[in-house]
Amino acid sequence: MDKLSSIRLEDLPVIIKFILHSITAMDALEVISELREKLDLQHCVLPSRLQASQVKLKSKGRASSSGNQESSDQSCVILLFDVIKSAIRYEKTISEAWIKAIENTASVSEHKVFDLVMLFIIYSTNIQTKKYIERVLRNKIRSGYIQEQLLQSTFSVHYLVLKDMCSSILSLAQSLLHSLDQSIISFGSLLYKYAFKFFDTYCQQEVVGALVTHICSGNEAEVDTALDVLLELVVLNPSAMMMNAVFVKGILDYLDNIPPQQIRKVFYVLSTLAFSKQNEASSHIQAQVILPRQHSE
């Protein structure tokens, strides 16, 4: 533990595995708390500037020694989290101690990207801890300890780790949208937004499907929030949203249960997709938008 901050990234998974396997019920919280403090994020993240250079290299169609190093570093990061996943899956003491260590953190500046990743990992790994994690997250969000910038950084830096937990993250988002607290609802909507932005096409489809389910739920707060997220996604990535237009069109079957102000948002989304100049394939939904719109008006 004393030498943890100076260990090379490629050696970190082995060292963390040894530490986690050496934990006892008596010292679990103390060890995890110290581990959380000493596991400097610069040893286990791919910085944004390196991500940008990696994308640039790919666009040029060639590799480089720096690109290979970035790939190697990212593999070490994934392996590190796999080690942690394995430990918390089979040792309830470790997962509970990790949640407690995060719960005991009492200022905005002390909350880290690593903390959010760990909450998502434990949430997706241990069913028994889901309610506990939801309670911790809700309290942190209400207190302002976990803010949008931290969430965005978490997805930006660790999207390769998080994408395998897409279904669990969407399940968490769904639960948060059922809250009566607007700050918690907003956080849930951000989970949907960043999952769509950073994950693959399959998860994007799941995000749109979940939002449509919220819109058709009849709960006014859910409907409004989900529609606002759809509006953001249409602006954020119209091409990806076009691929999921069939799910959005399904909302038309539930217009009788949606108030006029929200119907306007539905048609704004559909019209943006139908008449977007960026999408040559948009013409096939234009007729389906125009006729219902005339009927609605």
Give the tokens for residue 157: 């830096």
**Coil/strand/helix, residue 108:** coil
CA atoms of 136 and 119, how far apart (whole Å): 9
Domain-wise residue ranges, the chain: 1-41+77-165, 200-296
Q: Identify the band that residue 155 occupies on the pLDDT scale cut at 50, 70 and 90.
A: very high
Interior angle at CA 164, CA 159 and CA 165, nearest 5: 95
Give yes or no for residue 41 having a pLDDT over 60: no
The crossing angle, in degrees rounded to 10, of helices 130-143 and 166-177 is 60
Q: Identify the band that residue 63 occupies on the pLDDT scale cut at 50, 70 and 90.
A: very low
Give the tokens for residue 85: 């996943």
CA atoms of 236 and 228, how far apart (whole Å): 12
pLDDT of 61: 46
Q: What is the mean pLDDT of residues 127-152?
A: 94
Greatest pairwise CA separation for the chain in angstroms = 70
* Residue whose entry in the numeric block shows the structure tokens 């943890």: 4
Query: Which residues fall within 8 angstroms of residue 53, CB to CB, at 6 or more apart?
Result: 66, 67, 70
**pTM for the whole structure:** 0.85
Interior angle at CA 293, CA 289 and CA 294, nearest 5: 125
Backbone angles phi, psi at 141, to 5 degrees: -65, -45
Least confident among 7-21, 28-42, 282-296: 282-296
Sign of CA dihedral 184, 185, 190, 191: positive
